[in-house]
C-alpha cells in the first residue's frame, strides 16, 4: 500500500510539471504569434509598395522564415527564386532553393524535392562550381530514402556523395555525407559506426565554410544524433561527455537567438536532451537522476510543435523505461502503449515483450515476438527484391557508362586541340602587341629627345640675356611643358585618327563594312576629344567659380545604375562589372549630374587598368545613417603607395600609354569638396585599386535598423559590346 502511494505521488508530480509547462507556453506563444503576424503584415505592405530587387528579395526570404513549414512558405520562396533569377542574383537563388528542398524533404514529397534539387545542380553546372547548397539537397534526397526504409539506395547515394566531396576536398560536403552515413548506421542499429560517423561530421564542421547560424544549428543536430546512439553502446564516461556537448550546442544556439534575433527553435532539443539523460541514468541504474531528468523534460511538454511524433514518443519511451526501472510495470506498459499509437519500432516491441515475459505472461509476450519476427522477415524480403532490381539496373548502367566514357574521351581530345590552337593564337597576338609597343616607345623617345635638344639649345642661347628672370622662366617652362606634353599628345592622337579615317570614309573604293568600322573609330576618337575638352573647361570653370551645382533629393541606387549603364560598353572582355548596394535605401541631397561624373570617372579609370577579374561599385551606410561610403574596387594593376597621393594632382598619369590627360581625378576631388564629401584611395587594399568617396546623408533610424538585418545582394552587369 505504501509503495502504491509513492507511485501515485510521483505520477502527480510529473502531471503538475506538464500543466505548468503548457500554461507558460500558451502565454508565450500568443505573444510570439502577435509579433509574427504584425511583421508579416508589414512585409506584405512593403512588397506592395516597391519593386526594387534589393528590397523585395530580403522581404520574401523573411516572410518564408516567418511561415516555416506552412503552405505559405512555398509561395514566398518560389517568388523569391523567380525574382533572384530575373536579376541573376545567385546567392538569393541558392537560399530559396535550399529552403524549398528542405520544405519538401520535411513534407515527404520526393518528386518536388528532386525537382528543386535538379535546379540547384543546373545552376552549379552553369557556374562550374560545387556549392554548399548542392550537398544540402543531396543529403535531403539520401535521408528521404532512408526514412522510406530504402537503406541500400540511401547508402548508395551517401557513398556517391562522399566520393564527390572527397575528390573536391569539400569540407561542407564531407560534413553532410558523414551525417547521412551516421543516420543510415543508426537506422540499421550499427550504433558504434554511427557514433564514429557523426564525430567525423563534427570534425568537418570545424573546417567547413558556412554561416555561424548554419554552423550552430548543424552542430546541435549532429550531436543529438550522436547522443542517441551513444546511450546504447558507449561507455558511461564517453556518453556523459557527448550529452554535455549536446547541451552546450543547444545553449550556444539559444544564446545566438537572443543575441542576433535568429529564429532557431531549441525547445525540441532541450526536451530530447533530458529524455536522453533519463535513458542514460536508467541504463546506469540511477533512478533518482532519471527522475530529475524527466522533471526537466516535462517543462518542455507542449512547448514545441505537437506533430513532432519522434520527440513525443522518445519522451513516452523514456517514461516507460523509468517506471520499469523503479518497478511500476503498469505505468511502463501504459506509456509504451501510447508510443504504439503513432509508431511501432522493434526496440519498443522488444521492450514490451521482455516486460511481459518477466511478468509471467508468456502468451502475450509470444504474440509480440511473432510480430517482431514478421517485421524482420518482411524487411529481409523487401531488401532481397531491392538488391535484385539494383543488380539489374547496375548492369544497364555499366553498359551506358562505357559508352559515355568513350564519348568523353573523344570530347577531351577535341578540347585539347582547341586549347592548343587558342594558346598559339594568344602567343602570336601578345608578340604582335609587344612589337607595336616597342615601336611606339621608340618613336616617342626619339621625338622627346629632339624636343629636349631644341629646348636645351634655346636655353643656352638666351641664358646670358635672362639671368634675372631665371626662376620665373624655369617655372613657366615647366608648367608649359607639362601642359603641352599632355594636351598636345591627347588632342593630336584623336585628331589624327579623325582626319585619317575621314579621308578613307569618303573614298569611293571603301567597302560598306569598312565604312562602318571607320565611322566607329571616328566616333570613339571624337568622344575622347570631347571628354578632354570638357575636362579642361570644367577645371577652368571650377577655378573661376563659374561652375554651378543644382542640389536636389535623388535615390543613390538610380544614380549608381546610371553610371554603370554608361560605362558597360567600356569594360574589357574577361572583366566582370558588379554592383553591391546596401540593404538600406539611400536618398542623397546632391547634384546628381556631378555625382554621376565622379562615379563615371572612377569606373572609367578602373576599366582602363583592369584586364581581368572584377570591377565592383558598392555603397554602405555608416556612422548610424549620417554618411554613405561609395567605393569603386578593381583587380587591375593597382597604384604604388608612393604615388597614391600624387594621382589627384593635375596632369598626373601613372601610365603614359593610357588615354587621358590626367585631369579626371583632380576634377573629381574638386566636385567632392563642393558636394561636402571626400575622395581618397584605400591604402589597405592590395589586389588592385579602391577609390572611396564619402557623401553626407540623413537616413531615418527606423530604415537604418531595418536595413542592418537585411541580406546584402550583388548585381552583375553584362558587357554591352
Domains of the chain, earliest start first: 130-260 (1.25.40.10), 552-717 (3.30.565.10)
pLDDT digit string (tens) for 14-65? 333 333 333 333 333 343 566 777 888 888 888 888 888 888 888 888 888 8
Evaluate the CA torsion angle 146, 148, 151, 152 in order and state its sign: negative
Average pLDDT of span 62-76: 82
* Percentage of residues of the chain with pLDDT beyond 70: 76
What is d(CA 707, CA 717) in angstroms, rounded to the nearest whole number? 24
**Average pLDDT, stretch 391-400?**
58
Half-sphere exposure at residue 261, Cβ-oriented, CA atoms within 13 angstroms: 10
d(CA 711, CA 65): 13
pLDDT of residue 666: 77
Average pLDDT estimate for 384-413: 67
What's the whole-number average pLDDT of the chain? 78
Question: In whole angstroms, what is the distance from residue 251 CA to residue 214 CA?
Answer: 15
pLDDT greater than 90 at residue 237: yes
pLDDT score for 288: 92
421 backbone dihedrals φ, ψ, rounded to 5°: -60, -45
CA distance 322 to 288: 10
C-alpha distances in Å from residue 606, one per residue of 180, 192, 563, 616, 632: 47, 59, 13, 9, 8
| pLDDT (0 to 100) of residue 692 | 93
The whole-model pTM stands at: 0.48
- pLDDT tens per residue, range 156-202: 888 888 888 888 888 888 888 888 888 888 888 888 888 998 898 88
Measured between alpha carbons, how far is residue 610 from residues 490, 607, 660, 694 in Å?
Answer: 21, 5, 16, 23
Question: pLDDT band at residue 616, thresholds of 50, 70 and 90?
Answer: very high
Alpha-carbon distance 376 to 366, whole Å?
15
| Selected residue with higher pLDDT from 7 and 301 | 301
The predicted model gives 620-629 an average pLDDT of 85
Question: In Å, what is the CA distance from 554 to each residue of 9, 54, 596, 597, 712?
Answer: 73, 17, 12, 15, 21
357-382 pLDDT, tens digit each: 777 777 776 776 677 667 666 665 55
pLDDT confidence band for 667 (50 / 70 / 90): confident
Rounded Cα distance between 425 and 430, Å, is 9
Which pLDDT value is given to residue 489? 55
Is 61 in a helix, a strand, or coil? helix
Highest mean pLDDT among 202-211, 219-228, 495-504: 219-228
**Number of helices and strands (H, E) in the chain?**
23, 8
3: pLDDT strictly greater than 50: no
The string of pLDDT tens digits covering residues 318-337 is 888 888 888 888 888 888 88
Confidence of residue 307 (pLDDT cuts 50, 70, 90): very low
Amino acid at each position: 500500500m505504501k509503495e502504491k502511494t509513492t507511485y501515485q505521488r510521483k505520477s502527480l508530480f510529473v502531471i503538475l510539471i506538464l500543466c505548468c509547462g503548457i500554461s507558460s507556453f500558451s502565454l508565450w506563444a500568443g505573444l510570439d504569434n502577435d509579433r509574427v503576424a504584425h511583421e508579416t503584415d508589414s512585409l506584405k505592405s512593403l512588397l506592395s509598395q516597391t519593386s526594387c530587387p534589393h528590397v523585395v528579395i530580403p522581404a520574401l526570404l523573411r516572410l518564408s522564415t516567418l511561415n516555416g513549414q506552412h503552405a505559405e512558405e512555398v509561395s514566398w520562396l518560389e517568388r523569391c527564386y523567380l525574382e533572384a533569377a530575373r536579376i541573376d542574383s545567385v546567392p538569393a537563388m541558392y537560399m530559396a532553393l535550399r529552403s524549398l528542398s528542405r520544405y519538401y524533404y520535411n513534407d515527404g514529397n520526393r518528386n518536388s524535392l528532386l525537382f528543386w534539387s535538379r535546379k540547384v545542380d543546373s545552376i552549379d553546372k552553369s557556374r562550374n562550381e560545387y556549392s554548399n547548397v548542392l550537398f544540402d539537397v543531396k543529403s535531403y534526397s539520401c535521408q528521404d530514402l532512408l526514412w522510406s526504409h530504402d537503406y541500400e539506395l540511401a547508402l548508395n547515394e551517401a557513398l556517391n556523395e562522399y566520393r564527390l566531396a572527397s575528390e573536391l576536398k569539400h569540407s561542407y560536403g564531407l560534413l553532410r555525407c558523414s551525417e547521412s552515413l551516421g543516420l543510415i548506421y543508426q537506422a540499421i542499429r550499427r550504433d558504434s559506426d554511427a557514433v564514429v560517423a557523426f564525430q567525423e561530421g563534427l570534425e568537418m564542421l570545424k573546417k567547413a565554410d558556412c554561416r555561424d547560424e548554419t554552423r550552430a544549428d548543424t552542430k546541435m543536430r549532429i550531436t543529438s544524433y550522436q547522443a542517441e546512439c551513444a546511450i546504447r553502446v558507449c561507455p558511461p564516461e564517453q556518453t556523459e561527455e557527448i550529452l554535455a556537448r549536446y547541451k552546450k550546442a543547444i545553449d550556444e544556439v539559444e544564446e545566438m537567438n537572443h543575441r542576433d534575433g535568429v529564429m532557431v527553435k531549441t525547445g525540441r532539443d532541450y526536451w530530447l536532451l533530458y529524455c536522453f539523460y533519463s535513458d542514460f541514468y536508467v541504463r546506469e541504474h540511477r533512478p533518482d537522476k532519471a527522475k530529475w531528468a524527466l522533471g526537466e523534460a516535462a517543462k518542455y511538454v507542449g512547448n514545441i510543435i505537437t506533430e513532432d511524433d519522434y520527440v513525443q514518443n522518445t519522451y513516452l519511451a523514456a517514461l516507460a523505461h523509468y517506471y520499469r526501472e523503479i518497478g511500476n510495470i503498469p505505468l511502463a506498459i501504459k506509456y509504451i502503449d501510447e508510443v504504439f499509437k503513432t509508431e511501432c519500432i522493434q526496440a519498443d516491441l522488444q521492450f514490451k515483450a521482455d516486460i511481459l515475459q518477466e511478468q509471467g505472461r508468456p502468451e502475450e509476450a509470444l504474440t509480440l515476438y511473432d510480430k517482431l519476427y514478421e517485421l524482420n522477415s518482411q524487411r529481409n524480403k523487401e531488401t532481397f527484391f531491392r538488391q535484385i532490381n539494383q543488380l539489374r539496373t547496375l548492369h544497364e548502367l555499366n553498359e551506358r557508362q562505357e559508352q559515355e566514357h568513350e564519348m568523353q574521351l573523344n570530347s577531351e581530345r577535341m578540347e585539347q586541340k582547341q586549347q592548343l590552337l587558342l594558346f598559339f593564337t594568344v602567343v602570336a597576338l601578345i608578340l604582335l602587341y609587344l612589337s607595336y609597343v616597342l615601336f611606339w616607345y621608340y618613336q616617342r623617345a626619339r621625338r622627346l629627345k629632339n624636343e629636349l635638344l631644341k629646348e636645351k639649345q634655346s636655353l643656352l642661347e638666351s641664358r646670358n640675356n635672362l639671368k634675372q628672370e631665371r626662376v620665373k622662366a624655369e617655372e613657366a617652362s615647366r608648367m608649359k611643358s607639362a601642359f603641352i606634353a599632355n594636351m598636345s599628345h591627347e588632342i593630336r592622337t584623336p585628331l589624327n585618327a579623325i582626319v585619317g579615317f575621314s579621308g578613307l570614309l569618303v573614298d569611293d573604293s571603301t567597302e560598306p563594312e569598312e565604312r562602318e568600322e571607320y565611322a566607329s573609330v571616328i566616333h570613339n576618337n571624337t568622344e575622347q576629344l570631347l571628354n578632354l575638352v570638357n575636362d579642361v573647361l570644367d577645371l577652368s570653370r571650377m577655378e573661376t567659380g563659374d561652375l554651378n551645382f543644382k542640389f536636389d533629393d535623388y535615390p543613390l541606387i538610380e544614380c549608381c545604375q546610371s553610371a554603370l549603364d554608361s560605362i558597360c560598353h567600356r569594360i574589357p572582355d574577361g572583366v566582370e562589372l558588379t554592383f553591391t548596394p546596401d540593404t538600406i535605401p539611400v536618398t542623397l541631397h546632391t547634384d546628381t549630374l556631378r555625382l554621376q561624373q565622379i562615379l563615371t570617372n572612377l569606373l572609367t579609370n578602373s576599366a582602363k587598368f583592369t584586364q581581368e577579374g572584377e570591377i565592383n561599385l558598392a555603397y554602405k551606410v555608416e556612422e548610424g545613417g549620417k554618411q554613405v561610403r561609395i567605393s569603386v574596387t578593381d583587380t587591375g594593376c593597382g597604384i604604388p603607395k608612393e604615388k597614391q597621393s600624387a594621382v589627384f594632382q593635375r596632369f598626373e598619369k601613372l601610365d603614359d600609354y593610357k588615354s587621358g590627360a590626367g585631369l579626371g581625378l583632380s576634377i573629381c576631388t574638386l566636385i567632392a569638396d563642393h558636394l561636402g564629401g571626400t575622395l581618397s584611395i584605400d591604402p589597405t587594399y592590395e589586389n588592385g585599386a579602391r577609390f572611396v568617396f564619402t557623401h553626407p546623408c540623413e537616413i531615418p533610424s527606423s530604415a537604418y535598423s531595418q536595413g542592418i538585418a537585411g541580406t546584402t545582394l550583388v548585381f552583375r552587369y553584362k558587357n554591352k559590346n
